Chains A and B, each alone.
Chain A
Amino acid sequence: MASLPVQALPASKRLDEPPPAHTRIGPVILSVANISLDFGGVRAISDVSFDVREHEVLAIIGPNGAGKSSMLNVINGVYHAQQGRIRFKDREFAAMQPHRAAAMGIARTFQNLALFKGMSVLDNIMTGRNMKMRTGILAQALRVGPAEREEMRHREVVEHIIDFLEIQAYRKTPVGRLAYGLQKRVDLGRALALEPEVLLLDEPMAGMNVEEKQDMCRFILDVNEQYGTTIVLIEHDMGVVMDISDRIVVLDYGRKIGDGTPGEVRGNRAVIDAYLGATH
């Protein structure tokens, strides 16, 4: 099942009870195999492999510098791994390209906000629709019928996202003037505008207070449940991770040291050592 068009699902409608994991989760949609990445001789990731299944919420955890963000960057092609393969929707790549990842349905938010500071909330989220907009330069220049209609069609989708994220009041505000928590929402909104099948979230709750975290958790779970979007997220708050993920991958010093359900990971000796700082 591909992702549903956004307009088909009113944001207010929530399923009362999420379906049990075994019926919700589908086959493997994305897998990384034997990824190794260095920066000028410094190894950031070594020989990491894991699978992501359709519709699941997968958390990647690990201490700072474990290679989590680098892993996301490899998946959507910002970094190119020296070794390993990425398999997405039955196509295999040695190196992904960012725009190809986007075109194939991988969207991404950033750890340090990477919003377009000079643009309004609306325009930021509209950029997420850019890839789907086709009118040529001449039609845009003259803003004749098709260009105007296309713009309105996508504006409507974006307005749904704005409603969903409850940021209606800030539509025309330059993003730089928003509070941090709201900027994080806009970042999520921009990624959602791509209608992705896989959403990579890099510390979506970093620096938030409890209420903001709760809101963000709700948005993430809603996206996952309503649109069936597969979620891969990096998060440091263990409470959140244990609560919302179906599966957890643990990285430490660029290696994978754990992979399983929250229960399994919690009992994993290597993971406990890494987190408690035991010497190896």
Chain B
Amino acid sequence: MFFRENGQFKSTYRADMQLLPIAQDRYFVLALVAFAFFAVPLLVSDYLYLSIINPFLILTLAAIGLNLLVGYCGQISIGHAAFMAWGAYAAYNLVQRVPMLNFLVVLVLAGLVAALVGMFFGIPSLRIKGLYLAVATLAAQFFTDWIFARVKWFTNYSSSGSVSTAPVQIFGWTIGTPRDKYLFVLGVVIVFTLVARNLVRGHLGRAWMATRDMDVAAEVIGIRPVYAKLTAFGVSSFYCGVAGALWGFFHLGSWEPLAFNLNLSFDLLFMIIIGGMGSILGSYLGAAFIVALPIALNQIPEKLGVPLSTAMASNVEFMIFGSLIVLFLVLEPHGLARLWAIGKEKLRLWPFPH
């Protein structure tokens, strides 16, 4: 009843092609953004920022990146944490070695470094499909793990192999407190969400989706697979590179070799499977779910008076992740995002059944 698009007619192509064609959606998103910027900082404790909200936002960015590749272009990767690592170490080295660079520039450069590496490891996708590509991306994962654990230059010859960062300053604003970090990360994530939405509804996005849905047909209508796949790898790794830099500087602060290991790659993959492949909204929902679940598993049994041991909690987490993945693939391959869309559809008709 409240969610009606009656009377909203589009008389120009521009109006029909805008980001959120339904007025209620536009108001809702604007209200949400306003809430995130102005209300959340008044309501939230440092603990919530550090353990849930900041990691959620940063991993959302990485999940969007992976979703562009897997969900939109149909190329699987089970090594995407590697590109986060390239972004994080690129940012670390830029800050160490070129201190006068603005951190926003550092972020973009870190993204570009990750994009280059991602495109390099994406080259096999031109000859091989799905399953084989999974192994190629594993190569990226393990080779990257090794490079940053062994080549001392990347960690600035630190004796333990781990690196640490100082608080970031931008235009005189020292991003030190959890709230500052939140506001900065939120801004970055919103900008990149808009960019991702723009890309997927432009001709590049159509080239990706065409390649995903029917690669031979895409080629026959003039979409070069080289172009579609390598841009997907590039953009996707760019996102992960930026997310990696944010993860290093704003979430971890200091990190050891193997901070960006295979488990993180799997987590990213689970986010998009559970959240919804081929959906930006799904990337948010999936990241929220994956960040929240372990914490819930830790706290809920404790509140109920049956605390789980750490090992048991992690085993239960494994089992829940595993079952949910199969469950979503079987019941709702488009993930939480589709459930959301179905709910919206119902709301549109409510209270009348048709």
Q: Interface centre among B195, B204, B206, B222, by most A CB within 10 Å?
A: B222
Which segment, of A28-36, A138-146, A205-213, faces chain B?
Answer: A138-146
Bound CA span A133–B231, Å: 15
B217 contacts A by Cβ under 8 Å: yes
Contact indicator B213/A118 (Cβ below 8 Å): yes
B169 contacts A by Cβ under 8 Å: no
Residues of B within 8 A of A156 (CB): 13
Describe B's contact surface by its main secondary structure.
helix
Residues of B within 8 A of A255 (CB): none
Contact indicator B222/A99 (Cβ below 8 Å): yes
Describe A's contact surface by its main secondary structure.
helix
* 0 or 1 for each of A129-165: is its CB under 8 Å from B? (1 = yes): 1110101010011110001100110011001000000
* 0 or 1 for each of A91-111: is its CB under 8 Å from B? (1 = yes): 000000011011100011010
Residues of B within 8 A of A116 (CB): 209-210, 212-214, 217-218
Contact indicator A115/B214 (Cβ below 8 Å): yes
Residues of A within 8 A of B14 (CB): 148, 152
B199 contacts A by Cβ under 8 Å: yes
Residues of A within 8 A of B223 (CB): 99, 127, 130-131
Q: How large is the interface on B (under 10, 10 to 19, 20 to 34, 35 or more residues)?
A: 20 to 34
Residues of A within 8 A of B135 (CB): none
Interface residue count for A (Cβ, 8 Å)?
41
Q: Interface centre among A110, A119, A143, A159, by most B CB within 10 Å?
A: A143
Q: Given that A116-B209, A119-B206, A119-B210 are contacting pairs, would A128 and B235 also be in contact in the complex, using a CB cutoff of 8 Å? A: no
CB < 8 Å neighbour of A130 from B17, B199, B207, B235: B207
A185 contacts B by Cβ under 8 Å: no
Contact indicator A127/B198 (Cβ below 8 Å): no
Residues of A within 8 A of B206 (CB): 119, 123, 126-127, 130
A69 contacts B by Cβ under 8 Å: no
Q: Given that A127-B210, A142-B195, A152-B14 are contacting pairs, would A114 and B217 also be in contact in the complex, using a CB cutoff of 8 Å? A: yes
Q: How far is the CB of B335 from chain A (nearest CB, A)?
A: 14
Residues of A within 8 A of B212 (CB): 116, 118
Residues of B within 8 A of A191 (CB): 221
A244 contacts B by Cβ under 8 Å: no
Bound CA span A117–B216, Å: 13
Q: Given that A123-B206, A130-B206 are contacting pairs, would A140 and B199 also be in contact in the complex, using a CB cutoff of 8 Å? A: yes
- Tell me the B216-232 residues at the A interface (CB within 8 Å): 216-224, 231
B178 contacts A by Cβ under 8 Å: no
Q: Given that A99-B222, A118-B212, A156-B13 are contacting pairs, would A110 and B217 also be in contact in the complex, using a CB cutoff of 8 Å? A: yes
**7 interchain pairs (CB within 8 A)?**
A99-B219, A101-B220, A116-B209, A118-B278, A127-B221, A137-B204, A140-B199
CB within 8 Å of B: which residues of A? 76, 78, 98-99, 101-103, 107-108, 110, 114-119, 123, 126-131, 133, 135, 137, 140-143, 147-148, 151-152, 155-156, 159, 190-191, 193-194
